[in-house]
C-alpha cells in the first residue's frame, strides 16, 4: 500500500495574494516603493516598534545593507555563530570583513553570549546574534556587551518574524535587524526580506544604500531638488507585485503564527516521553522568549544514525531535513573566517538535529501519523 506523502514544507497562501497582485497590476505602478510597499513598511513599523522598516529582495540583501551601513574595512571582525545560514557570514565577507565564530548555547542553540567578550580584539566592530528557530538570543546581555565595547549589533531575525524577547519584537532590539520572507519562513513572498533600522542615525543612509546609492527617496519627498549618487549602494528593493503578495501574508501574520504554534505544541507534547527515555531532546524556549513556531526540531540521541532515520522516514512518506553544516568547517568559512576553539555545541547540533514537517494546513490527523511513524522509527533503533 502506498502511504500518503507528508512534505517537509508547503508554502501557505492566504488566498488574497493574487487579488493584491492584480491590484498592483491595475495601479500600473510595478517598480518598488509604491502603495503596497508603503503598507508593508507601516505594518512592520507598527508591529515591531522599529523606527524604520525597508522591504528588500531577501534577508540576505538586508544583511548586506547592514554591512554597508557599518562602513566596515578589510580586516574588521564581526562576531557570530557558525551554526547559521551562509548569508549571516557572507554579507560581511563581501565587505572584506572577517566573521569570527563562537559556539552556541546547548539549550537554545543560539550564540553563547558568555563567550563573546573572550573573542573581542581591537578589530571587532559588530555582533550578529541569530535568533535560531525564532527563539530569541539573550539580547539584554548582548546589548550590554556591545555598549561596553562600542560595538554594533545586527540581529539576523530571518526566522524571527512575530517573535519577541521580553515583549519586544525580534529585529527591533539591536541597531539593525533583518527579516526573511523566503518561502521556507513563516510569512512569505517567495523571495523577500526587510531591514529594520532601529537607530535614527542610519535612517537616511539606509534609504540611499537601498536606492543604488542615490538620494532618490529624499527627492520624491521634495527634500532635495535633484537626485544624485551619494555613496556605495545597490538595488535592494522589491517591486510592487512582490509587495502585494507580502501584504496578503502580513494581514494574516497573527493567524499564521497561532496555527503554527498549535502544530508546534502537538509535537512538543507528543515527544515528551521520548525525551524522558533519552531517545531525543526537544527544543528549549526560555521564559523571556515569545516564539513564532518557525521550526520544530529534535536532537537525536548519539545512538541513532541521522541519515538512516531520514532515509527510513522518507521511505514511509515523511520528509525531514537537517541543517546546518557549520560554517567554520565549510570551504569558504575556512578561507574567510576564524573560529574561536572547536565549537563543540555547534558540531553536535550540526550532527544530531532533525527538522520535522511544520506548515499551516498540516492537519492533526496527518501530524498524528507523522508523530507515530517517527516514534516507531526512533525507538526501533534505540
Ligand atoms: C533564511 C535565512 C537567511 C536568508 O534569508 P533569505 O531571505 O533567503 O535571504 C539568513 N539567515 C538565517 C538565519 C536564515 O534562516
pLDDT band of residue 382 (cuts 50, 70, 90) is: very low
Single out the residue in 233, 250, 267 at which a domain terminates.
250
Within 8 A by CB and 6+ apart from 237, the residues are 32, 33, 37, 54, 55, 56, 57, 210, 211
Residues 223, 309 share a domain: no
Residue nearest to atom 5 of ligand 1 (CA): 59
- Which residues are bridge partners to 248 per DSSP? none
Residue-wise DSSP of 268-298:
HHHTHHHHHTTSEE-----TTEE------EE
pLDDT at residue 262 is higher than 50 = yes
Ligand 1 mean position to 310 CA, how many Å?
23
Residues 265, 232 share a domain: no
pLDDT at 142: 98
pLDDT in tens, 343-374: 999 999 999 999 999 999 999 999 999 999 99
Residues 139, 244 share a domain: yes
In Å, how far from its chain's centre is CA 364? 27
The residue-averaged pLDDT of 45-72 equals: 98
Residues 342, 222 share a domain: no
**Consecutive H or E run containing 153:** strand 152-156
The verdict on residue 102 lying in a domain is: yes
Pocket of ligand 1 from Cβ distances under 6 Å? 58-60, 84-85, 87-88, 130, 156, 158-159, 180, 182, 193
Within 8 A by CB and 6+ apart from 9, the residues are 183, 184, 357, 358, 359
**Alpha helix segments (H runs only) across 150-232:** 203-210, 216-220
Residues 219, 93 share a domain: yes
**Which residue reads 538512516 in cell numbers?**
308
Determine what percent of the chain is predicted with pLDDT higher than 90. Answer: 98
The residue-averaged pLDDT of 236-251 equals: 98
The answer to whether the CB of 158 falls within 8 A of the CB of 178 is yes
Q: In testing the pocket of ligand 1, which one of 109, 182, 238 has its CB within 8 Å of the most ligand atoms?
A: 182
Ligand 1 mean position to 370 CA, how many Å?
27
pLDDT band of residue 4 (cuts 50, 70, 90) is: confident
- Angular region, 75: left φ>0, alpha ψ -120 to 50, beta rest: left
pLDDT at residue 249 is higher than 70 = yes
Residues 223, 183 share a domain: yes
The verdict on residue 11 lying in a domain is: no
Closest CA to 104 of 354, 280, 333, 346: 346
Residues 270, 176 share a domain: no
Ligand 1 mean position to 87 CA, how many Å?
7
The pLDDT mean for the chain works out to: 97
Single out the residue in 218, 250, 282 at which a domain terminates.
250
The answer to whether the CB of 139 falls within 8 A of the CB of 288 is no
Residue nearest to atom 14 of ligand 1 (CA): 158
Residues 161, 44 share a domain: yes
Ligand 1 mean position to 179 CA, how many Å?
8
Residue nearest to atom 2 of ligand 1 (CA): 158
Ligand 1 mean position to 154 CA, how many Å?
14
Ligand 1 mean position to 13 CA, how many Å?
20
pLDDT at 213: 96
Instruction: Report the C-alpha gap between 59 and 66 in whole angstroms.
Output: 10
The verdict on residue 4 lying in a domain is: no
Cell numbers representing residue 155 in the block: 540581529
Half-sphere exposure in the Cβ direction for 155 (13 Å, CA): 37
Q: In testing the pocket of ligand 1, which one of 56, 58, 59, 84 has its CB within 8 Å of the most ligand atoms?
A: 59
Atom of ligand 1 nearest to the CA of 180: 7
> What does pTM read for this prediction?
0.97
* Domain around 231: 17-250
- Which residues are bridge partners to 80 per DSSP? 101
The answer to whether the CB of 92 falls within 8 A of the CB of 100 is no
Total number of domains in the chain:
2
The residue-averaged pLDDT of 306-329 equals: 97
Single out the residue in 193, 225, 250 at which a domain terminates.
250
Instruction: Report the C-alpha gap between 356 and 8 in whole angstroms.
Output: 7
Ligand 1 mean position to 155 CA, how many Å?
12
pLDDT in tens, 125-153: 999 999 999 999 999 999 999 999 999 99
Amino acid at each position: 500500500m502506498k502511504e500518503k506523502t507528508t512534505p517537509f514544507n508547503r508554502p501557505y497562501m492566504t488566498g488574497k495574494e493574487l487579488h493584491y497582485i492584480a491590484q498592483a497590476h491595475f495601479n500600473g505602478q510595478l517598480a518598488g516603493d509604491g502603495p503596497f510597499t508603503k503598507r508593508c513598511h507601516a505594518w512592520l513599523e507598527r508591529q515591531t516598534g522599529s523606527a524604520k522598516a525597508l522591504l528588500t529582495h531577501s534577508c540576505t540583501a538586508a544583511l548586506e545593507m547592514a554591512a554597508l551601513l557599518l562602513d566596515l574595512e578589510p580586516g574588521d571582525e564581526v562576531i557570530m555563530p557558525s551554526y547559521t545560514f551562509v548569508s549571516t557570514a557572507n554579507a560581511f565577507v563581501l565587505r572584506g570583513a572577517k566573521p569570527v565564530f563562537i559556539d552556541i548555547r546547548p539549550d537554545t542553540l543560539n550564540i553563547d553570549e558568555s563567550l563573546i567578550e573572550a573573542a573581542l580584539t581591537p578589530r571587532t566592530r559588530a555582533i550578529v546574534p541569530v535568533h535560531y528557530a525564532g527563539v530569541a538570543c539573550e539580547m539584554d546581555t548582548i546589548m550590554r556587551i556591545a555598549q561596553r565595547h562600542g560595538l554594533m549589533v545586527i540581529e539576523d531575525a530571518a526566522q524571527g518574524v512575530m517573535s519577541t524577547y521580553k515583549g519586544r519584537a525580534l529585529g527591533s532590539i539591536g541597531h539593525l535587524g533583518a527579516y526573511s520572507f523566503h518561502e521556507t519562513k513563516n510569512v512569505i513572498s517567495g523571495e523577500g526580506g526587510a531591514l529594520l533600522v532601529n537607530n535614527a542615525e542610519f535612517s537616511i543612509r539606509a534609504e540611499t544604500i537601498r536606492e543604488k546609492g542615490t538620494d532618490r527617496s529624499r527627492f520624491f519627498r521634495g527634500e532635495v531638488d535633484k537626485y544624485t549618487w551619494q555613496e556605495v549602494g545597490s538595488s535592494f528593493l522589491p517591486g510592487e507585485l512582490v509587495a502585494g503578495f507580502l501584504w496578503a501574508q502580513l494581514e494574516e501574520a497573527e493567524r499564521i503564527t497561532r496555527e503554527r504554534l498549535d502544530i508546534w505544541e502537538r509535537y512538543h507534547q507528543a515527544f515528551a516521553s521520548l525525551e524522558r527515555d533519552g531517545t531525543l531532546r526537544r527544543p528549549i524556549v526560555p521564559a523571556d522568549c515569545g516564539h513564532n513556531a518557525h521550526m520544530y526540531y529534535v536532537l537525536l540521541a548519539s545512538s541513532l544514525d541521522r541519515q538512516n532515520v531520514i532515509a527510513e522516514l522518507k521511505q514511509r512518506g515523511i520528509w525531514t531535513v537537517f541543517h546546518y553544516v557549520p560554517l567554520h568547517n565549510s570551504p569558504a568559512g575556512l578561507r574567510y573566517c576564524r573560529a574561536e576553539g572547536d565549537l563543540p555545541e555547534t558540531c553536535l547540533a550540526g550532527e544530531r538535529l532533525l527538522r520535522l514537517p511544520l506548515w499551516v494546513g498540516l492537519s492533526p490527523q496527518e501530524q498524528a501519523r507523522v508523530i507515530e511513524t517517527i516514534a516507531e522509527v526512533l525507538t526501533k533503533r534505540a
